[in-house]
Amino acid sequence: MSVKTMETQEVIELLEKVAGFDRPAGNDRVKTIIHRVMHDVFQIIEDLDITPEEFWSAVYYINELGKNGEAALLAPGLGMDKYLDIRMDAEDEQAGLAGGTPRTIEGPLYVAGAPMSEGFARLDDGTDTGAEVMLLKGVVTDENNRPLANAIVDVWHADSKGAYSYFDPSQSEYNLRRRIKTDAEGRYLAQSIIPSGYGCPPEGSTQALLTQLGRHGQRPAHIHFFISAPGHKHLTTQINLAGDKYTYDDFAFATRDELVVEARPVTHSAQGERHGVTGPVTEVEFNIQLVSTDRQDRQAMHQRQRVMA
């Protein structure tokens, strides 16, 4: 069966009524968006000859997705977060604000309000005793490589099982989440543990759809960052550790070549010892370059629903 009804007066009028075009009340922006979304959904049903069975399975899939709280997990898996990044990169290019360390997706697992430290912070609570000790370090500079003192490096990552505090209630409050203010030389230093990669809940709605696509739901070991400094563009980014099976096969499409960082085991770190970190550690170095701007809207991060915000 392949019928064409999209061009009929009946469907055109139906879409206008669906979007509330015939009523003065409501929000014009929402009306415009919903009209377009529903037009395109109808068009997909027509073009792909979607059966009622397929349609209703999609409806109940969305119900399950919401019940599992996974809509913001599915979005990166379907490339939507990456697509928004591609658009923001293009907008930066157009506004003359390109350059510096590249952005990549925030993901759904940030928690606002992590404790603030000056120069150095220990991120882990010491309970993950099997984990490899990590020394994460770097310098924040402007585009002329001048160090930026008092920049805020807000860092968060998973534990050795790939789980994030807050979302994993067995972890202590703000475990593996800290804000570090850079010192006079623009440096930040963190003691933590090497994270493991993250996997979508295996029985969840996101994995169920990915399986239908023949895809996995894995991310490589990675560390998230928000970096901000007055007079500079806010940066949301991550590093992916080199050598992970998924470094270049991230289900969330967050990998960028400039953001792949080597983890280097050393027997001794002078910098670490100054903060009581003795013995072998694995060093991860991530230097960050921010782009200067007067625009307040670019100095702030975009709004979205965030835990504890």
Interface residue list for ligand DHB (CB under 6 A): 73, 76-77, 107-109, 198, 200, 219, 252
- Minimum CB distance to ligand DHB, residue 64 (Å): 16
Scanning 62-70, 102-110, 181-189, 257-265 for contacts with Fe ion by CB under 5 A, the matching segment is: 102-110
Closest CB to ligand DHB among residues 18, 80: 80
Burial class (CB in 10 A: 0-12, 13-18, 19+), 258: exposed
Closest CB to Fe ion among residues 107, 186: 107
- Minimum CB distance to Fe ion, residue 158 (Å): 6
Nearest position to Fe ion, beta carbon: 107
151 makes contact, choosing from ligand DHB, Fe ion, none, with CB < 5 to 8 Å by partner type, with none
Scanning 3-11, 57-65, 99-107, 225-233 for contacts with Fe ion by CB under 5 A, the matching segment is: 99-107
Closest CB to ligand DHB among residues 176, 277: 176
Closest CB to Fe ion among residues 107, 138: 107
- Minimum CB distance to Fe ion, residue 82 (Å): 14
- Minimum CB distance to ligand DHB, residue 23 (Å): 38
204 makes contact, choosing from ligand DHB, Fe ion, none, with CB < 5 to 8 Å by partner type, with none
100 makes contact, choosing from ligand DHB, Fe ion, none, with CB < 5 to 8 Å by partner type, with none
- Minimum CB distance to ligand DHB, residue 300 (Å): 21
200 makes contact, choosing from Fe ion, ligand DHB, none, with CB < 5 to 8 Å by partner type, with ligand DHB
Supply the DSSP string of the chain, one letter for each residue. Answer: -----TTSHHHHHHHHHHTTTT-S-S-HHHHHHHHHHHHHHHHHHHHTT--HHHHHHHHHHHHHHHHTT-HHHHHHHTTHHHHHHHHHHHHHHHTT---SSPP----S--BS-PPEEESEEE-S-S--TTSPEEEEEEEEE-TT--B-TT-EEEEEE--TTS--BTTBTTSPTTTTEEEEE--TTSEEEEEEEPPPPEE--TTSHHHHHHHHTT---EE-SEEEEEEE-TTB--EEEEEEETT-TTTT--TT----GGGEE-EEEES--HHHHTTT--S-EEEEE--EEPPB---HHHHSPPP---BT-
Closest CB to ligand DHB among residues 196, 269: 196
Residues 100, 107, 186, 195: which binds Fe ion (CB under 5 A)?
107
- Minimum CB distance to Fe ion, residue 176 (Å): 11
Binding site for Fe ion (CB under 5 A): 107
